[in-house]
Structure 1
Amino acid sequence: MNIEQARFNMIEQQIRPWEVLDSAVLQLLAVVKREDFVPPAHRALAFIDTEVPLPEGQAMLSPKLEARMLQELKVQRHESVLEIGAGSGFMAALLGHRARDVITLENRPALAKMAADNLRRAGLAHVQVREADGREGLPGSGPFDAIMLSGSVATVPEALLAQLKPGGRLIAIEGSEPIMQATLYTRQPSGSFSKVVLFDTIAPRLDGFAEPTRFHF
């Protein structure tokens, strides 16, 4: 496989047509080596429009979904970012190239180790992996300029929204199959939150977040 041609095709045939037009994001995807964050057994899937299997039944999001969420969060160089769901560490690596510092939370030890090893090899010393449950965020280290949930939840917990600075943004995929939506929350100076639905999509569930009550008749 010609890796650079495959990377080019991923960007031009999958990502750009999915309304990812930010030149900085596209350039970053050309530079950060996604294949280095994919388990060796699935390396052939690194540039395919699919979720890549990870240990313990988890998965990397598809390349176009990663890129679109990164674009919509609009992280700036001076900002501090929290990610929920480190997975293999690829999204944290992308965020690390755009932010001042990044903390990514992962509650599965095998994945936390994988992410930490991958990020260390990538030379991203300002990106920290912490083995922790992401439902409550990281109140002791906040507030944050941006929070990314790298997976879906039924609804975003208020505890996470409360860890945004004024002007801070949180992006998440909310809902339940077959209807999920990428949603951007912004904390206003007054402390209230605005909410914008960005696009429809489907993504694997993040561990441990509450599910809606199901009624049985």
Structure 2
Amino acid sequence: MEVTAERARFNMIQQQIRPWDVLDDRVLSVMAEIRREAFVPDAYQGLAYADIEIPIGTGSCMLAPKVVGRMLQALDVKSGERVLQIGAGTGYVSACLDRLGGRVTAVEIDADLAEEARVRLAGLELESIEVRTGDALSEPVEGEPFDVIVATGSMPTEAALPLLQGQLAPGGRLFCILGIEPVMEALLVTRVGERDFRREGLFETSTLALQNAAEANAFEF
């Protein structure tokens, strides 16, 4: 089984992630090392390395591997940086951020999913990652400012952006996915001054919204 998983990880890197312009050796090494199957629900074990989003319950999902790769590459996490992850899920992205050197605080609104992430991470001896239960879109997270903030679900509107941007340290980077079906945009927001932020559109995608994310007005164009 392990040989099969190793081959599946290799294929994921070569056939999904590299062709999507993820060329950062650190990111590729981390994603080749971490056992993604350790974070996938039992019912989806056979799809752990497929080019799809995987349901994890509570209206949440694991992002497709190529999206995770592009996200990690854009954030360029450096050793010792403080990282806030919004939407811990089962802990896979948390593990990637940790292996890249980040000091990770992951906030998950669903208490059962937060506990599942803790158990899965502990099983891989990644207990330095702090998983908290809470709503990171309603108020600042204790421990700010952060060098990196990553939202692992989409946000239909920009309503939460001021809150998230305000928690960035100077030079800090925020990754988020904005918009509604059928097309959303992945953005990298960098704090370049006290009140100044640079926005860069990275790619188009589509994924489930974070719980408690402000909904878009259907009549806005």
Structure-1-length-normalised TM-score: 0.95
Check the 8 A contact 1:136/1:160 in 2, yes or no. no
Question: Of the candidates 129, 143, 155, which is equivalent to residue 145 of structure 2?
Answer: 143
Consecutive unaligned residues of structure 2, counting only runs of 5 or more, are none
Q: Counterpart of 1:181 in structure 2: which amino acid? A: E
Q: What's the counterpart of residue 117 of structure 1?
A: 119
Cα distance between partner residues in 2 of 1:24 and 1:137: 33
- Is the Cα–Cα contact under 8 Å of residues 95 and 102 in structure 1 kept in the other structure? yes
2:60 to 58, 74, 90: 58
SS of alignment partner, residue 137 of structure 2: helix
Q: Is the 8 A contact 2:60 2:210 kept in 1?
A: no
Percent of residue pairs bearing the same amino acid type:
44
Look up the match of 1:70: 72
Q: Is the 1:166–1:191 contact (alpha carbons within 8 Å) kept by the matching residues of 2?
A: no
How many pairs were matched up? Answer: 216
- Letter aligned with residue 92 of structure 1: S
Q: Secondary structure at the match of 1:50?
A: coil
Map 1:1-217 to 2 at 5 A.
2-136=4-138, 138-156=140-158, 157=160, 158-215=162-219
Tell me the distance in 2 between the aligned counterparts of 1:79 and 1:204: 27
1:81 Cα deviation after fit: 0.2
Q: Distance in 2 between matches of 1:54 and 1:103?
A: 20
Of 186-195 and 145-154, deviating more is 186-195
Which stretch of structure 1 is more off in the superposition, 9-18 or 116-125? Answer: 116-125
Kindly provide the CA deviation profile for residues 21-79 of structure 1, in whole angstroms up to 9, marking residues without a partner as x. 10111111111110101111211010001111112232111111111111111110020
How far off is 1:152 after superposition? 0.6
Gaps of 5+ in 1: none
Aligned partners of 1:127 and 1:146: how far apart in 2? 15
CA distance in structure 2 between the partners assigned to 1:40 and 1:139 by the alignment: 32
The farther-off stretch of 136-145 and 19-28 is 136-145
* Distance in 1 of aligned mates of 2:195 and 2:123: 39
In 2, the alpha carbon distance for the partners of 1:100 and 1:196 equals: 22
When the two chains are superposed, the root-mean-square deviation of aligned CA atoms in Å is 1.4
Q: Structure 2 counterpart of 1:4, which letter? A: E
Residue 154 of structure 1, CA deviation: 1.8
Aligned-residue offset at 1:140: 2.5
- Displacement of 1:137 after TM fit? 5.4
Distance 2:76 2:103 in 1: 15
Q: Summarize deviations over 1:163-183 as a string: whole Å, max 9, x none.
A: 000100000011111121110
> Is the contact made by 2:108 and 2:131 (CA closer than 8 Å) also made in structure 1?
yes
